[in-house]
A = this chain, B = another copy of it.
């Protein structure tokens, strides 16, 4: 075994994509996932206007941040996959300007701000890496503005699938070039600024070109180079220095 056994805690797995952690640091982080709760799909974890309570950590499942228009239109502004953490400094805000809900059943935990602060103070490397994670979240938002701002429907979906592939791979949730995507077509529409009808047609286009297979809430990427080329996907904004993001077909299971 060249590689150390990977932690069961997705936050540890994610941070290890940015840096190498010591045993002590891993243990400190593992404690964060100790007590967790499981919520069904479609649960509102945070409502717009709420006072933030603790820092959300997703351990299993997929969730999303969203904003609503008065007419009922919804814009999904971020996906949360296992290992993703809510805003580190959420405690500074008096009220949330957006909501968070679950795509699928999720195992989540709410971290006491003081607890996290303590860990960050006693483990500078963890602190640095968490702050780096925040920068990546911001970079991802910029990429999403780009996505809805100047890509076509097919390109937007392709880009989303490329991004999620890497983010899921980092936490070891890609198997055989596929990953769980418990998101229906209407939700993909709210993500990409498209109607559900047009999402449907664009997905057919991606399938017809032999780029993806999407069924049973699992997305499989059949031709990663072509999908990346179509989306003009440049993974640098995810800053996964230790992860072999440049390789077209990256999988965790490596000798």
Contact = CB atoms under 8 A, between A and B. Distances in A.
Interface stretch (A8-16, A27-35, A130-138, A207-215): A130-138
Interface stretch (A142-150, A178-186, A217-225, A247-255): A142-150
B141 A65 contact: no
Contact of A193 (B77, B128, B138, B149): B149
A104 interface: no
Interface stretch (A37-45, A94-102, A160-168): A94-102
B75 A145 contact: yes
Contact of A142 (B77, B135, B239): B77
This protein's copies in its complex: 2
A68 to B, nearest CB: 9
B142 A78 contact: yes
Given A77-B142, A138-B141, A145-B144, A241 B89 contact: no
Contact of A92 (B89, B92, B131, B237): B131
Contacts of A4: none
A24 interface: no
A150 B89 contact: no
Interface residues of A, number: 43
A112 interface: no
Given A141-B145, A142-B141, A93 B135 contact: yes
A5 interface: no
Given A97-B239, A148-B193, A142 B89 contact: no
B145 A97 contact: no
Interface of A: 65, 67, 69-70, 73-75, 77-78, 87, 89-90, 92-95, 97-98, 128, 131-132, 134-135, 137-139, 141-146, 148-151, 192-193, 232, 236-237, 239, 241
24 contacts: A69-B146, A69-B150, A69-B151, A70-B232, A73-B150, A75-B145, A75-B150, A77-B149, A87-B135, A89-B131, A89-B134, A89-B135, A92-B135, A93-B132, A93-B135, A97-B139, A97-B142, A97-B143, A97-B237, A138-B138, A138-B141, A145-B145, A148-B148, A150-B193
